[in-house]
Structure 1
Amino acid sequence: MFDIKAWAEYVVEWAAKDPYGFLTTVILALTPLFLASAVLSWKLAKMIEAREKEQKKKQKRQENIAKAKRLKKD
């Protein structure tokens, strides 16, 4: 089976012996994840903005309808 303790010791030893290589590998491994996170965050922000804009538009429409009904009654 997979020995986590031995693997952790290997990683710590590798980081101690070659810190620049270790950091380079970690950064290269994490960069795609950071990029994916940034893209998804941007898309989510755009979706939230669009939803808020649509809600404001609907609210304004409802206010105008209510205003028109009040004027029509008078």
Structure 2
Amino acid sequence: MTNATSPTGLWCDRCGEPADDAGHPGCQAARQLEPPRFCPRCRRRMKVQVLPTGWSATCVEHGTARG
């Protein structure tokens, strides 16, 4: 998983829409401050935990990303 909207992923990790749909400039800007909400590989909603030292986002199918 990536820390931003992935050009190689199928889905935007912030809004869950197709990643190649209009580039998602709003999503890319928001991801500078927010953790991902959707798995870019399968579009599942991820379990997100935000801590003072960073975040973790877990997809039941593809594992955990940290930032």
TM-score by length of structure 1 reads 0.24
Relative contact order (C-alpha < 8 Å, sep 6+): which is higher? 2
Greater fraction strand: 2
The higher radius of gyration belongs to 1
Greater fraction helix: 1
